[in-house]
């Protein structure tokens, strides 16, 4: 997505002027943040470019949805303008920060959540209860195997839904099931859950 933002303020004496065109592109998960200066012909003087980068990084940290940091994005500054007297690092930082936030909203930024790989070993009698409980926790059962007469269920579940799991599993299986859990990947939060998170965070 491409986004223009002009920050211009005049309040007696010296004003503030910063004007940027930003291009936002998603990167592969885990890539982090990449900033590219593609300004030609000095339309933004080079001493203001670090302020543009800094403004974008601040917006990344503060987030655009519910205050969570933004991950895995490439931002290119490719055009803009400046004012001989009124331009400053602060004005360009603010223009970049606000421009990034607008662009990220336009691009349809989503909230991601940590997904855990959960492996449960349970006697067959309790398998239905165990799977039912994982489904209630927004889990996705990935595979089912056998080990020494027990069933092995592997599922991916959001970390947010796994609190209190050991107690629940114990009571469902009379203490005869065991489980292990490790982080696996990030996944998009379902819209109804995301709306709830945003509502809570924004009060």
> 126: which DSSP letter?
G
Q: What is the pLDDT of residues 16-75, one digit of tens each?
A: 999 999 999 999 888 999 999 999 999 999 999 999 999 999 999 998 887 888 889 999
CATH 3.40.50.300 assigned to domain 112-194? The reply is no
Closest CA to 183 of 167, 162, 153, 164: 162
User: Contact 36/77 with Cβ under 8 angstroms?
Assistant: yes
CATH number of this structure's domain 2-106: 3.30.230.10
**How far from the centroid of its chain's Cα atoms is residue 163's Cα?**
22
Q: What is the pLDDT of residues 150-197, one digit of tens each?
A: 999 999 999 999 999 999 999 999 999 999 999 998 888 888 888 888
User: Contact 22/77 with Cβ under 8 angstroms?
Assistant: yes
Domain layout of the chain by residue ranges: 2-106, 112-194
| pTM over 0.85, yes/no | no
Decide whether 2-106 matches 112-194 in CATH topology. no
Helix, strand, or coil here: 104?
helix
């Amino acid at each position: 997505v491409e986004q223009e933002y002009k920050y211009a303020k005049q309040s007696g004496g010296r004003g503030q002027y910063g004007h940027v065109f930003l291009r936002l592109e998603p990167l592969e998960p885990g890539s982090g943040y990449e900033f590219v200066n593609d300004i030609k012909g000095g339309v933004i003087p080079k001493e203001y470019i670090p302020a543009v980068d800094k403004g974008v990084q601040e917006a990344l940290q503060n987030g655009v949805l519910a205050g969570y940091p933004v991950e895995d994005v490439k931002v290119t500054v490719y055009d803009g303008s400046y004012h001989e007297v009124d331009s400053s690092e602060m004005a360009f930082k603010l223009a970049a920060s606000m421009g990034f936030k607008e662009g990220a909203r336009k691009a349809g930024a989503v909230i991601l959540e940590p997904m855990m790989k959960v492996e449960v070993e349970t006697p067959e009698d309790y398998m239905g209860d165990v799977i039912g409980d994982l489904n209630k926790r927004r889990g996705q059962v990935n595979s089912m195997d056998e080990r020494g007469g027990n069933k092995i269920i592997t599922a991916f579940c959001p970390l947010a839904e796994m609190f209190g799991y050991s107690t629940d599993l114990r009571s469902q299986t009379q203490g005869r099931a065991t489980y292990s859990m490790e982080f696996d990947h990030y996944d998009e939060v379902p819209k109804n859950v995301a709306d709830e998170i945003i509502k809570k965070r924004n009060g």
